[in-house]
A and B are shown apart, each in its own frame.
Chain A
Amino acid sequence: MPHPIYLDHAATTPVRREVREAMEPFFGPRFGNPSSTHRWGREARAALDEARERLARCLGAKSAEICFTSGGTEGDNLAVLGSWRAQRERGRSAIVSSPIEHKAVLGAVHSAAHEGAEERMTAVTPGGVVDARSFEGLLDSSVAVCSVMWVNNEIGTIQPIAELGVIARDHGALFHTDAVQAFGKIAIDLSSLPVDLLTISGHKIGAPKGIGAIYIRHGTPLEPLLHGGSQDRGRRPGTENVAFAVGLARAAELTVAERPSEVARLVALRDALELALLSKIPDAIVHGRDTPRAPHILNISVPGTDSESLLMALDLAGVACSSGSACQSGNVDPSHVLAALGVSRELAVGAVRMSLGCLTTPECVRRVADLFPALITKARRLAGTTS
């Protein structure tokens, strides 16, 4: 088998060499606990403070507004539940969100609903964008927090975050965005953005799994999820993962510096792949195609195929894709995102997400542009003979 092809960068990415090198000392000589007052502690504290500053700079934020987390899921939960619980005491009990959010946000919203939150879900256009008018219609003085992702993780569509943030602010509601797929693909400057809370994840940008960060605008009310020590101003008790925080800061710097050229590169590759697939499979549907999209995600459905079999066949041929967000049991269910867009079940069960990134080369695109249509032809031939 020729070199396997990894087209699942939206799921995770390899840790960059520079990041590993930056982290290395903290597994060895600089192992201290940043809360300790002795020299080992001070060294670790210095590294952590510096990492926080550097990450803040990447986002246009102040150092104190950055809180390290274990990743996107924790960040989303802290943002949604933490802000809702804090706002509830001020008579704001509703949460506005969208049906195309990551399960980390939807799960947190449902959890808040069990505690008494009123759940309000916006309409989404068939193109995969939260409808701003519908969003505005859901806002009033009882809304505690709104949560809308910046880039959808399954189809890559970009949400009008600045516009929605202004609307939320007009109604005195907090605004959170899950920027896990946006960071590194879209310029983020929180100094000028009407966003109160923003989640990022390390392993999507070349840092390890198990580290992420949440931006908490100065003065944003937030109840911690965990209770214990006073680390990170009590917002996130527990001994900080210094090495990974340093790694995240390094990865963020590299990602931000490379963003313009990397985006241009990925757009060219994605467009070439998309064009090739659509020309060879004329009835294929690329979800969110007419909507502004992040450059790294291509989600394609072919009528009469099922993604479960396609993903198996692709994998066995050495190509790694996914059908949307990965599920623990490895089981494939039709996407809640595509359902929210009004995509028929028949098309949704065939959806395959290809996500490009640091490992993607023109050669990868050429091979997948040949292999995928061939697998489709075979799948359709089998479907024709067995049903």
Chain B
Amino acid sequence: MLPTRERVLVAMSGGVDSSVAAALLHEQGYEVIGATMKLFCYGEDVPDRPCCSLDSIDDARRVCERLGVPHYVLNLESAFGHDVIDNFVSEYASGRTPIPCVRCNTFTKFRDLLRRADAVDARWIATGHYARVLGGELHRGLDRAKDQSYFLWGIDRSVVQRMLLPVGGLGKATTRATAHALGLDVVAEKPESQDICFVPDGDHVRLLARHLPADAPALSRGPIITLDGLIAGEHDGFARFTVGQRRGVPGGYSQPMYVVEIRPADRAVVIGPREALLGRGVIAHDVSWLTARPPRIGEVVAVQMRHRSPPVEAEVIRLAPGQIELALAEPVAAITAGQSLVLYDGDRLLGGGVIESARTARSPLPVLAA
């Protein structure tokens, strides 16, 4: 037991990871308060039902009942709509491919939730993320296959001091076993969520269509062109495409063709062969640092530009307020505007930013103003 029972507000999605996080903290002697954030209306298709009660809220509540700790539902719909969904829509409308989970962590889970924690005198906030807090800094989850640190780079550095990530030192199999051992059978075998929570059917275009005007360029017909500027076909909206994609790309070329660029101004989807996807440098904006000493120009760090891709070495070649440019030690395929550039020193998360553009063999001089 802790000397004084320190209060922790645990964000509980109803899934196995956050349930185990709550149970472990409870076992360690913390005073656990469970909170499920209601982020969007689940019941749009159900008229006359003001109470949106998805099963996940019920599951989180059942876990809290089991632990004998209070559970609350926090309505963050309007903030989430503004900070996450609106941004998701506008990024797609601008020809980029956003990661809403990053903004949800930055704004919803580790800013708005922290305010709720303050309101109830909770010193700590906790989630079920696979990452670790060590010495006031964020590190990769111990199980590299489950590591979620990629999505956490945008958190305010001061918040890290108040974060507890109790499953970051476990593997998923361990987590499930722990869930069973703690009697959390309600959630122990729930499937992992892969989709974006507010796009449960995976059809992001349908969501965009709900939020954008009917004649929005992102959802309107446009040309598919080759790197040489030749018309290769037509598409039904560039928001259906992302860099590196093959689906929907015309065939009949001597080699497989991929989306290599989206040019929203011309509504054009540009296609090219695999080597045209290779980037040798990357430029990012909205850069945020999670360390007291961010890397300087000339320093070599490890970077990751996709959640599941292996890190590669890169040298910082340009820094400006909120911006960074790196030269990659080896070419990386399908560096995509809107995705996250995340910098590591080994397992230690240094910071990250939103990818603005890649420097490819075909791109001219760096765009970044010094």
Q: Which residues of A contact B (CB under 8 A)?
A: 103, 107, 110-111, 308-310, 312-313, 315-316, 327-333, 378-379, 382, 386
Contacts and interface: CB of A to CB of B under 8 A. Distances in A.
Contact of B52 (A111, A316, A331): A331
B57 A329 contact: yes
A386 B50 contact: no
Nearest to A314: B120
Contact of B48 (A110, A308, A315, A333): A110
Given A329-B51, A330-B61, A309 B116 contact: yes
Q: Which 9 A-B pairs have the closest CB atoms?
A: A329-B53, A309-B119, A330-B73, A331-B73, A328-B51, A327-B51, A329-B51, A382-B118, A313-B120
Interface in B53-75: 53, 57, 61, 70-75
B308 interface: no
Contact of A386 (B74, B115, B120): B115
Contacts of B116: 308-309, 312
Contacts of B48: 107, 110-111
Contacts of A333: 50, 75
Nearest to A336: B50
Contacts of A315: 70
B119 A331 contact: no
Q: Is the interface of B mostly helix, strand, loop or mixed?
A: mixed
B50 A327 contact: yes
A125 to B, nearest CB: 24
A68 B18 CA distance: 45
B57 A312 contact: no
Contacts of A308: 72, 74-75, 116
B119 A379 contact: yes
B172 interface: no
Contacts of B52: 329, 331
B73 to A, nearest CB: 4
Nearest to A106: B48
Q: Is the interface of A mostly helix, strand, loop or mixed?
A: helix
Interface of B: 33, 38, 48, 50-53, 57, 61, 70-75, 115-116, 118-121
A158 to B, nearest CB: 26
Residue from the set A103, A110, A309, A378 with the largest chain B CB neighbour count within 10 Å: A309
B118 A312 contact: no
Residue from the set B52, B75, B116 with the largest chain A CB neighbour count within 10 Å: B75
A330 B37 CA distance: 11
Nearest to B58: A329
A137 B33 CA distance: 51
B119 A328 contact: no
Contacts of B53: 328-329, 331
8 contacts: A309-B116, A309-B120, A310-B119, A312-B33, A316-B33, A330-B71, A382-B119, A386-B115
Contacts of B75: 308, 331-333
Nearest to A379: B119
Contact of B38 (A107, A309, A331): A331
Contacts of A316: 33, 70, 120-121
Given A308-B74, A309-B115, 15 more contacts: A308-B75, A309-B119, A312-B72, A316-B70, A316-B120, A316-B121, A327-B51, A330-B57, A330-B72, A331-B38, A331-B53, A332-B75, A333-B75, A379-B119, A386-B115
Contacts of A386: 115, 118
Nearest to B47: A110
Contacts of B118: 382, 386
Contacts of B73: 329-332
B67 to A, nearest CB: 16
Contacts of B50: 103, 327, 333
A5 B362 CA distance: 71
Contacts of B70: 315-316
A328 B38 CA distance: 13
A386 B79 CA distance: 14
Contacts of A331: 38, 51-53, 57, 73, 75
